[in-house]
Chains A and B, each alone.
Chain A
Amino acid sequence: MGKLDLDPVLVARARELARRAGQPVVDLARSHTTVSVERAVLRLAGVTGADPDGIPWVNRLVDAVAADVGLGHGVAVPVFDALVREGSTDVTLLAQKAAAGSVRFTQPTGRAATAARSAARKAVGAGIRRIDRRRAERDRLVKRHGDPAQRPWIYLIVATGDIYEDIPQAQAAARAGADVIAVIRSTGQSLLDYVPEGATREGFAGTYATQENFRLMRAALDESSKEVGRYVRLTNYASGLCMPEMATLAGLERLDMMLNDSMYGILFRDINPVRTFVDQRFSRQVHARAGIIINTGEDNYLTTADAVDEAHTVTVSQLLNEFFAHEAGLADWQLGLGHAFEINPEVPESFRLELAHALLARELFPDAPLKWMPPTKHMTGDVFRGNLLDGFFNLAGALTGQGILLVGMMTEAVVTPWLSDRDIALQNVRYVLGAAGGLHEDFVPAPGGFIRRRANQVLGEALDLLERIGEQTLLTAIAEGTFGIMKRPADRGKGLSGVAAHEADYCNPATDILEAAA
């Protein structure tokens, strides 16, 4: 197989083992729901806005339904049953009445249930059609303005906390060559069990992800796309407790990429594993429908664990992410599987090791737009050395044909990037891609050489780990600390109280529609 002479039997075995480890988790996801999945359904059905305290009406409505009939039937049927009884079509108004305590919810049976199901399906279907229209709109704009001239696409972060500051910065970044703009979220938003409302001007080390902020930034980048003559993509985060709603809002506001990892929230945010896997599956189904490229978070393993010793955990996680993504209907072109340049530069042959790992990912997932993440752990504040390291990172990206390159900052761990830091970093990228952008065509590691041996070794270690996971289950493996160093048992972690097993009559029109299409 290709440039590394990987054994196709081993590669097929690795995929089979990933499927074996992942399938029980899929079964779990298919038999449970969460408050955030149900809120996403209501958002698709047209519930908008928030109460005077800033608590979204979807939260108030889901809480009211759960209090009356529980979560296990799904909220769609009780909500639309109440709507039919009220003789109304305004779901937001119903949410307001429910919050005031003037509506009681029941789980209908017989003809009433059929009527409620049909009304719910109609309303949710309208929401999904809005997502379809946004996807068609993206296709048109990409056709009109064009894709970036080069691969990898250049991915740049803005994060001022104030959406109105972010916008000019993002537009300046696009002019300076950025193809993808990511707006970092406010610290801790992933642990909020609701999505804030409206345009926001204050955040902690980032800007709150809200539907209005999504809309404002997308509109600004549409202007930039016209100006720079290429479609500038927008990224945010479908992670944390509101992952399904984030995915839904991203689809409704035509975001183009979403950070969306199957295990990140569990390992790094101590979110309950079951909650995460249920939310994950729904959000990936929405991303599949919306034509959104997901970015997975394997780079994070290497910031906590050793990038050489634990290289195989990245491969294992990529294989799992691929399995979960395919199962949810995502196509290969939507899989921005993550990996990172995080080997200690003091390690002998560190660059050759990086090339081996990066090329392994490229060869294992030939049709995925891999997300290549810059050094962070070994950036010391020595900005000169940092700029050199970023140059090698860029070169590794060019040599191994990466799809999306997150621009490394020489001031990583020093300050949030200054205007000049960003410019110098982009200059670094432009130089490397200009001088060596096509080098992946010529770069074929020597048979039997260091890079091939190392890549095959990592694949072997990944297989061993997958075999071990297969003997237990993925949930047990996570509980026992197989990934990163965290032990995360399935009955612990944040957000567990928002999980419910499906009742026999569980109904989720969004899942029904999304799965019918897949």
Chain B
Amino acid sequence: MSGEKQIVRPYGDTTGDGMVQVSFTLPVTHDKRAEGAAVQLANKMGIDPAMVVHATPMGDGFTFFVVYGRVNHLVDLSAVQVVERDFALLSAKDVNTVIKQRLRRKLSVVGACIGTDAHTVGIDAILNVKGIAGEKGLEYYRELKVTNMGAQVSVPELVETARAEKADAVLVSQVVTQRDAHLHNTREMSAAFREAMPAGRRPLLIVGGPRFDETMTDELGVDRIFGRGTTPGEVASYLVHALITQRKAMA
């Protein structure tokens, strides 16, 4: 690390040349003016000089450009800030391996949409093999035993199923937010689990949906909240983190 420079520029073929390559489309018919427009955009992006090396019409009234050029920006490595996820993102294979080696049994997950919410989009995206955005759902993980109860599940049914399936984790999806239904339902659910099972025996309670505030875990009485755009891989990685890696570390 000690020899690494703190201030760097992009690298084309010579240190410090600052060369980058970008491509973009403008909603402009392809002509000389369009190429000028592309240069203008590149200049505003800090690319100067900018070379439009390729421009081609794309459908009606659109032009696609490839631009090479030198950026005048510097990168200060000492000022780079990244927000680290508080758990490691694991591949499906790694998730399976950790469960197999350290839990030595299948990890049981029960999922449902509770209350009157009939939108199974969220729970199915996370649980169905089909998954979402090219990522397979939790059913795909060999070491997870998934029970998807579907929509309009009552809280007592959910608690009963969690007990019967010896759930390590309960996943609840809430899409409908009218009159804060998602918050009421979640509180009702977490209270029911607190009442039905002693602290050490309760499954991990996870709730997800597009309108949750991820910082409200304490207020809602759950262990984790996942918001919009969560993938099955993130949920699986969290399960391994919370139920195996972290728990063992604390023990």
A: residues with CB less than 8 A from B are 172, 175-176, 187-188, 191, 204-205, 267-270, 303-304, 376-377, 379, 412-413, 418-420, 423-424, 484-486, 494
What's the Cα separation between A282 and B141 when bound, in Å? 33
Count of A-B contacts with CB under 8 A? Answer: 61
Question: Of residues 166 to 206 in B, which have CB atoms within 8 Å of A's CB atoms?
Answer: none
Residue in A188, A303, A423, A424 whose Cβ sees the most chain B Cβ within 10 Å:
A188
Q: How far is the CB of A241 from chain B (nearest CB, A)?
A: 11
Interfacial chain B residues near A205, Cβ < 8 Å: 132-133
Identify B64's interface contact among A176, A191, A269, A420, CB under 8 A.
A420
A186 closest partner in B (C-beta): B121
Can you pick out 20 interface pairs between chain A and chain B where the beta carbons lie within 8 Å of each other?
Answer: A172-B60, A187-B124, A188-B119, A188-B121, A205-B133, A268-B128, A268-B129, A269-B124, A269-B130, A270-B128, A376-B134, A419-B58, A420-B23, A420-B58, A420-B64, A423-B58, A424-B64, A484-B129, A486-B139, A494-B150
Is residue B212 contacting chain A, with contact meaning CB distance below 8 A?
Answer: no
A269 touches B58 (CB 8 A): no
Q: How far is the CB of A268 from chain B (nearest CB, A)?
A: 5
Interfacial chain B residues near A377, Cβ < 8 Å: 134
Residue in A412, A418, A423 whose Cβ sees the most chain B Cβ within 10 Å:
A423
Interface residues on B, range: 20 to 34
A420 touches B25 (CB 8 A): yes
Identify B124's interface contact among A172, A176, A188, A423, CB under 8 A.
A188
Mask of B142-156 contacts with A, CB within 8 angstroms, 1/0 = 100000101000000
B59 touches A485 (CB 8 A): no
Is residue B136 contacting chain A, with contact meaning CB distance below 8 A?
Answer: yes
Q: Given A268-B129, A268-B130, does the pair A423, B59 have CB atoms closer than 8 Å?
A: yes
Q: Given A419-B58, A420-B64, does the pair A204, B150 have CB atoms closer than 8 Å?
A: no
Interfacial chain B residues near A172, Cβ < 8 Å: 59-60
Question: Can you add 10 more A-B contacts, CB < 8 Å, to A188-B124, A420-B24?
Answer: A172-B59, A176-B59, A187-B124, A204-B121, A269-B130, A304-B136, A376-B134, A420-B58, A484-B129, A494-B150
Q: How far is the CB of A303 from chain B (nearest CB, A)?
A: 8
Interfacial chain A residues near B136, Cβ < 8 Å: 303-304
Interfacial chain A residues near B60, Cβ < 8 Å: 172, 175
Is residue B87 contacting chain A, with contact meaning CB distance below 8 A?
Answer: no
Interfacial chain B residues near A303, Cβ < 8 Å: 136
B64 touches A423 (CB 8 A): yes
A412 closest partner in B (C-beta): B134
Q: How far is the CB of B152 from chain A (nearest CB, A)?
A: 12
Interfacial chain A residues near B58, Cβ < 8 Å: 419-420, 423
Q: How far is the CB of A211 from chain B (nearest CB, A)?
A: 21
What's the Cα separation between A270 and B128 when bound, in Å? 8
Q: Given A176-B59, A418-B25, A423-B59, does the pair A187, B134 have CB atoms closer than 8 Å?
A: no
Interfacial chain B residues near A268, Cβ < 8 Å: 128-130
Interfacial chain B residues near A269, Cβ < 8 Å: 124, 128, 130
Is residue B125 contacting chain A, with contact meaning CB distance below 8 A?
Answer: yes
Q: How far is the CB of B135 from chain A (nearest CB, A)?
A: 8
What's the Cα separation between A188 and B124 when bound, in Å? 7
Interfacial chain A residues near B133, Cβ < 8 Å: 205, 413
Interfacial chain A residues near B121, Cβ < 8 Å: 187-188, 204
Interfacial chain B residues near A413, Cβ < 8 Å: 133-134
What's the Cα separation between A270 and B58 when bound, in Å? 42
Question: Of residues 94 to 134 in B, which have CB atoms within 8 Å of A's CB atoms?
Answer: 119-121, 124-125, 128-130, 132-134
A176 closest partner in B (C-beta): B59
A304 touches B129 (CB 8 A): yes
Q: How far is the CB of B147 from chain A (nearest CB, A)?
A: 11
A188 touches B25 (CB 8 A): no
B140 touches A191 (CB 8 A): no
Interfacial chain A residues near B130, Cβ < 8 Å: 268-269
